Amino acid sequence: MKLLLSTSVQLLIASQFLMESDASLRGRALSFFAENLASSSQSVEDERDDSDSMETRIIGGSVSKQGRYSYAVSLQDGIGHFCGGTLIARDVVLTAAHCQGGKYDVIIGRHDLESRDGESIAMDYEVPYPKYNDKTTDGDFNLVFLKNPTKEKVSLVNINFDSNSPSVGEEVYVMGWGDTTSDDYTQKLANKLMDVSVNVISNKDCDASQGQIGGWFDNYNNQISDNMLCARDNGEDACQGDSGGPLVIRGKDGSGADDVQVGIVSWGVGCANKNFPGVYSRISEAHEWIKREVCSKSQDPPASLCGGGESEPNPPSSDPSPPNPSPPSTGGSNGKWQTVLYENFDKGYGSFTRGGRHAKFYKSAKFRDGVIGIQNGKGPKSSFYSEDIRLDGKSDVKVTFSYMAISMEDNDSFCLDYSTDSGNKWNEVDCWSTSMSDFNNKIWQDDVSVTFSAKNADEVNIRFRCNGNSNKDDVLFDEIEVEAK
């Protein structure tokens, strides 16, 4: 839910903030102002984070060799370039979630934005990462599906699946068409694609970053999540204009065909400041989601991602002989839980369906946005259930959720069920009740988890149902995550 202020008040606050702070949003601290400073005549469809401070830039870099990063693309609206991205399928671009919104074109195969080289293709639709948090910029991933596949002779970038890559201290490269000066009061956008090398630092060291900037003290404390990675090199960085662009481990191919993308330009404090490294979205954390979305929705799914092979997480060795092919993927996950469904109900039932009239969606309830409520004890009518959830060879399932019980008495409970035949037969996983001291009424219970086995099942459905005895017996659900391994 957004706090709406008058345009004059927004302008006053924003101008004061910009004068007093060097907080640089590659999608973060200024997002509130960027979203709300649009004129009153601007449509919701056209609204997007388009303030200069929202964009990010390459500082201290140099013009890249034309065609070296042929997978790099420019997102452009009627004003011009506003974000970068990478081509991961002939019709799919990977960029930052804070770049989403409005109508725009994707420019492919253009090194110099002042030229007319390459191809311009309209965006068809976007699929932002379901766990993206626009307040913290956590999970800053967005997939852009194009109207049609590109015909340009460009390489696709490989996306990293190795959680151990890149390693601390490793050299990586970031590129973009953004601002080339670190002066917050001067903007000089690059016409040609710039690149710069930086070095990876640990998330622990990144989270400890603090210092003076522009006369103000700032820090990264408790802001660096597992979905992020950080890199720095004094005097060299990404900043305004580079949001959504790639952080890559370079290979040897002249067009970038063996480059591996490990991050997405996301946010930071200042630009090229010695106290504050650049923060990027960590590709390996969203690899399974990216693969699932691209391989199921692309008009031309890439064989390297969807055909059983995996992209190499590190640059090839100096041996000029071709690498051995990767073995076909078996769909396994090496024992690591991977998200197969996430729903926060911000826009309704989303991936779930109401079972009957005793289930209801609330835009907000009990101080939370996007809530599903079930009441009474009318079986399926007092329930809501998920769509088919693909397991892709996995058998163990974990469901994590947040809930609040209201007026539930000793004999009342709610239960979680699962089905492996699209809801024809349901199996009870667990039930929660006040008599078992599982909860107290009117208190949100967060991160409640339960696991079950669904061996030999291709898909699974889950269902929550209320076992109350009156319409006053309610259970509210705020968000649900389903993982599998």
pLDDT tens sequence for the chain (485 residues):
222 323 333 333 333 433 334 444 433 233 322 333 333 333 323 333 333 333 334 445 678 899 999 999 999 998 888 899 999 999 999 999 999 999 999 999 999 999 999 999 999 999 999 999 988 999 999 999 999 999 999 999 999 999 999 999 999 999 988 654 444 444 455 689 989 899 999 999 999 999 887 778 889 999 999 999 999 875 454 554 478 999 999 999 989 999 999 999 999 876 657 788 999 999 999 999 999 999 999 999 999 898 744 333 333 333 333 333 333 333 344 568 899 999 999 889 999 999 888 999 999 888 898 999 999 988 889 999 999 999 989 999 999 999 999 988 878 999 999 999 888 899 999 999 877 777 788 888 988 999 999 999 999 999 999 998 887 889 999 999 999 99
The terminus-to-terminus CA distance of the chain in angstroms comes to 34
Instruction: Note if the bond before 316 is cis, omega within 30 degrees.
Output: no
H or E, element range at 18: helix 7-20
Q: Tell me the C-alpha distance between 478 and 344, whole Å.
A: 6
Can you give the pLDDT at residue 67? Answer: 93
DSSP string, 208-240: T-EEEETTEEEE-TT---TTEEEEEBTTBB--B
The residues that are catalytic are 98, 140, 243
Domain borders along the chain are 1-39+47-329, 338-484
Q: Tell me the C-alpha distance between 245 and 90, whole Å.
A: 17
H or E, element range at 31: helix 31-36
**The CATH classification of domain 1-39+47-329, taken from the options 3.10.580.10, 2.40.160.40, 3.40.50.10420, 2.40.10.10:** 2.40.10.10
Superfamily of 338-484 according to CATH: Galactose-binding domain-like (2.60.120.260)
Can you give the pLDDT at residue 309? Answer: 41
Asked if residues 337 and 163 have their Cβ atoms less than 8 Å apart, the reply is: no
- The residue behind tokens 């990293």 is 160
What distances in angstroms separate CA 214 from CA 211, 218, 298, 450, 462, one per listed residue? 10, 10, 45, 48, 51
DSSP-derived letter for residue 435 is T
Domains 1-39+47-329 and 338-484 share a fold: no
Collect all residues with Cβ–Cβ distance below 8 Å to 8 and sequence separation of at least 6. Answer: none
